[in-house]
Chains A and B, each alone.
Chain A
């Protein structure tokens, strides 16, 4: 029975004329308002223009601009003015009302705008699934190429790229030389400059497959995981302090960073990588990696004061808890599905098929967890022994029970001793290390109390206000694709099962967003521009793919061939599209100035961490130790209340801080000034794409920051130790910093400058070159 019909049924007792008037409203007017108006103008949500068109009171009271309807007076009824005419202002982003619908509204107003007493209209609109990113994934056919074009195409990717270029009247650029390629590849895959020895080896390799061999060598390097973990940590807003007031450190956040590096180096299948970050502790209980992986959920900011000092006993504490859960929900969908759900906190998503109910059902998934330190669990090497002991203990437990029944006291005592010893050994297998992760059981801090798995009740919140709770929501996921299957989670499901259900939903083979999302991210980092250039949003507010077939082909290939990121990298960087020059071509620019179709390679500015790491590498100071606790390039003052993170007191010559930037302790309230100036990602929100700005403050930082001053001198000392002639020293500095030898004119100028102002100053010039800052 339709909603309108049910109302009619209920109102049968009314007087005929009144019933007629009500029926007219319910059958003719209500459907128009419900379909076209109420999703934005509702008393249940933050109403646009403060106008509520779901109640009689709201319609008569009107909004910011005055009464929407004045019964009996068409001219004074703003509602009509908004929907009438050839280009009506309303409804926004929806088809205009049909003329006969406008006539009905007029008739309704003429009749005195009857509205059944107490009736509240409901939004009947759900945005349709008819949108490119929600279509089922199917493997597209490769576009046909002419015989001569087939020679250019090395991989299926190239077929899609070249077909589109031809369609647009464009031609690909010639292949870059080996020197350009090795520098490009080295920063792209490792985030480090190639060593002069590696350059020589590649340039001198007569093997036609020298490039492919180089790619393999780099993908096998552990520095690959460090470089690509930086991308992932940007996306998952990883930081090592809480942020907000007092900004306390999280000394146990780093194992999550190491987990990401290790997972990438091991080429863990992507689906598993995703599932672990949502529910690793449920998938593999007792496994250290499983617990650490949920550091993803905890990685964002956390309001210490509101949780610890205020607590959920007060409204302010409950608001903070709600915002905290919102942060987890919104980030999870941004990161894994390139979908925005946060808007549905206050109203149904205006553009995408996410309703308020969907959003609060997601809250219910996270209703039992918080962010806190939890024990790391087993080190991987201890796993075997742990399970041996577990089996032995079960065995002994049985024997003890039998002995106890027989009242064999001596035997029981002996067994008890054995059991205690094994228990002790078992607990020693745990590392004693904690990790900051998703947690439901942890040491109480002030008013911040663990749920121990008890679910907080989640209500739908009218207008997102915790003081206006609606019905209790059971956990579940938004039905974003036709075959989404089970999106409801049992209301009685325990905390872990809820997250596990979400993890499975995210990595469902048929999930149309997850696989497209990740291949697009990888493409963006390699090519400098996404196929969808709004990588965190594939919804109607995002951009559309420039190469939809390529995106789908990559997603299917990736999903169906082992979900291997390394295979995906290999596929992309060995393609001809990646090996092109950064060519300047006015004719091509006339057609496609922003290189949307990849007729050349995009020149890339080094990211902040790459600049720092490359400077250290050039100076011979880079400590390549993998993994472990973060280094701090600041001095902490006044740690008792609000720690002051004092970067200017740090000695840049301290070797303990010469590790790669991925191992830097990331403070939220006082971001590292040098890297922040160089467009480093802000760890407060998911960053899908770094800015590339050019400012005077960047130039000042690269010239004058104490780190640069110190390292320029180390470059000078290094080349002075390695080469005796001034010319040889400049030449060497060029090879280390730029991977190429200096030209005669460059060497002449720099040697002359070094003679007058010293080699350190000359090295400082080299580290400030455009060529150092950009990758062709």
Chain B
């Protein structure tokens, strides 16, 4: 009988390998010029020394308002109720521009940096000096689906890999027992485009995001057998042993085909994942003060949200943040956390056409509590220094009102922020204009390509060189664009 390959062999064969090895393997497989492969054969296998190893992407589905949260515009308070005249004709998604509208919340300065935040995200005040804000991000259209895809995949049309897939394709997995790219969706539904926001499309299937639903019977699809009249633990254990024996017999005479052996290993890995995922997702084992810090509710995800409220929103988002921390600790490479479902009613999403105060209020407070806890917790564990947190949304909302209390879509400018590994905290790069309507410097906005280029840069990857040829085009996360935002790199 042949010697079974080591786990490392297996991972490399399956393309999900470790750090530089995976990158090298993939660069070679994707048929890059020899020069590029040669280049990648540095000590780390990366394009340059990395500042971070892991990423958390926080996605506010439905379009979170920048002017009500992170981008302080005194002019809106001053001109509240007055006609809003930006000096140009604009087409909004649903409405005609209403009067200038002040945020329902007050802003005040926080931290040594004195950054103004809205009271609805006040919990982030404690960590504001860790954060670099980018207030001049521009989108391409005011359509949710395209905006969401643009932020999640770098393209406005479906069919392109998620940023998380690209990162895992480039860097491989940090662990053997959990998926490299995990998605924690809002349990009330997927955002616009659904699973397309974490699809691997033309990258290999192992780089697609794996949905984890903490607290459910099957936190990962098919992790455990379904309710069954005949499946037992003992039967499963003996069955796997028998399966491996029969598969090894089948292998005789077929030794040259490493896929057969890889498949035998994959059953061992599956068993191992059952154990490790269960342990990783056991947030019940966390001490009380940690649960409190994340704002968890005793009834878990069963907490009542028949009327939107901040206790429930905090519990939901906090559970995802705490789950993310546990996964990051155990070597998950990329975690995508969603706040908000599809843009339906009653609003459990950020698409506040009707009432910013009613819907943004609980969502923003819940998000801020969970996120602040995550940042502090990662920091106290020494993980923040090599974990990047990216806060994003598909676009912002207008400085003028829709109806009397809502805001329409604003793809002309909105906010992203980053913190953690390699990010310079307490800075703002790129301002919006006095209303938060367009970039202050319209000729030099920030685009999603720049955000993604910066993300990859911090992970040790040159965004221009991580390419995969697909249907005749060398595809990149950043298409043909992107500049690293030097001002926010420490």
User: Could you tell me which A residues sit within 8 Å of B by CB distance?
Assistant: 46, 48, 64, 243-247, 301, 303, 305-306, 309-310, 314-316, 319-320, 323, 327, 334, 339-340, 342-343, 346, 352, 534, 536-537, 539, 541-542, 582, 584-586, 589, 603, 605, 638, 640-642, 644, 648, 668-671, 673-674, 676-677, 679, 682, 684-686, 688, 691-701, 703-706, 709, 713, 745-746, 749-750, 753, 756-758, 760-761, 764-765, 768-771, 773-774, 776
Does the CB pair B204–A310 fall under 8 Å? no
B129 CB-CB contact with A under 8 Å: no
Q: Which residues of A contact B208 (CB under 8 A)?
A: 676
B472–A536 touching, CB < 8 Å? yes
The CA of A611 and the CA of B330, in the complex, are separated in Å by 33
Contact B254 A303 (CB under 8 A): no
Interface of B is mostly: loop
Closest to B241 in A: A753
Whether A709 contacts B226 in the complex (CB less than 8 A), given A306-B141, A668-B196, comes out as: yes
CA distance A704 to B269 in the complex (A): 14
In angstroms, Cα B239 to Cα A764, docked, is: 8
Interface residues in B242-274 by Cβ distance below 8 A to A read 242-243, 245-247, 249-251, 253-257, 259-260, 262-264, 266-267, 269-270, 272-274
| CB of B159 closer than 8 Å to a CB of A | yes
**Interface size grouping (class) on chain B:** 35 or more
User: In the complex, A679 Cα to B208 Cα: how many Å?
Assistant: 11
Q: Are B263 and A305 in contact (CB under 8 A)?
A: no
Knowing A245-B145, A603-B257, A694-B263, the reply to whether A757 touches B246 (Cβ < 8 A) is no
Taking A696-B273, A697-B210 as given, write out 19 further A-B residue pairs in contact, using a Cβ cutoff of 8 Å, ordered by the A residue number: A243-B145, A301-B158, A320-B141, A323-B146, A339-B472, A536-B472, A541-B474, A582-B254, A638-B189, A685-B471, A696-B270, A699-B270, A700-B220, A701-B222, A704-B226, A757-B232, A761-B230, A761-B231, A768-B267
Segment of B76-84, B337-345, B359-367, B398-406 in the binding face: B337-345
The complex places the Cα of A315 from the Cα of B141 at a distance, in Å, of 8
Give chain A nearest CB distance to B231 CB in angstroms: 7
Show 26 A/B contacts (Cβ-Cβ < 8 Å), sorted by A.
Answer: A245-B144, A245-B148, A301-B159, A306-B141, A309-B94, A316-B143, A323-B146, A334-B472, A342-B473, A343-B473, A537-B472, A644-B190, A671-B199, A679-B205, A694-B259, A697-B270, A699-B269, A700-B274, A706-B226, A749-B242, A753-B242, A756-B235, A761-B231, A761-B235, A765-B239, A771-B250
B145-A677 in contact (CB<8A): no
| Residue ID in chain B nearest A352 by CB atoms | B472
A340 touches B226 (CB 8 A): no
Let me know if A704 and B472 touch, CB within 8 A.
no
**Distance A641 CA – B189 CA, assembled complex (angstroms):** 12
| Given A699-B269, A700-B270, A706-B226: A688 in contact with B471 (beta carbons within 8 A) | yes
B192 within 8 A of A: yes
**What's the minimum C-beta distance from B463 to chain A, rounded to whole angstroms?**
14
Contact across chains for A757 and B234 when beta carbons are under 8 A apart: yes
The smallest C-beta distance from B345 to any residue of chain A, in angstroms, reads 7
Contact A695 B473 (CB under 8 A): no
Quick check: A770 and B145 within 8 Å, CB to CB? no
Which residues of chain B have C-beta atoms less than 8 A from A536's C-beta? 471-472
A669 to B469, CA, bound (A): 25
A245 near B192 (CB under 8 angstroms)?
yes
The answer to whether A705 touches B222 (Cβ under 8 A) is yes
In angstroms, Cα B156 to Cα A585, docked, is: 48
Cβ-defined contact, A539 with B472, below 8 A: yes
Residues in B neighbouring A346, C-beta threshold 8 A: 480
B8 to chain A, nearest CB (A): 15
Chain B window 111-153, contacts with chain A (Cβ cutoff 8 Å), 1 for yes, 0 for no:
0000000000000000000000000000011111110100000
Q: Are A695 and B222 in contact (CB under 8 A)?
A: no
Residues of A within 8 A of B471 (CB): 334, 340, 536-537, 685-686, 688
Partner among A310, A669, A750, A760 whose Cβ is within 8 Å of the Cβ of B242: A750
With A537-B472, A700-B270 already in contact, the answer to whether A670 and B146 are too (CB < 8 A) is no
B223 touches A700 (CB 8 A): yes
Q: Is the CB of B158 within 8 A of A704?
A: no
Question: Which residues on A sit within 8 Å (CB–CB) of B450?
Answer: none
Residue from A48, A701, A703 with most neighbouring chain B CB atoms (10 Å):
A703
Chain B neighbourhood of A327, CB < 8 A: 157
Is B42's CB within 8 Å of the partner chain A? no
Contact A703–B146 (Cβ < 8 Å): no
Q: How far is the CA of A699 from the CA of B10 in the complex (A)?
A: 15
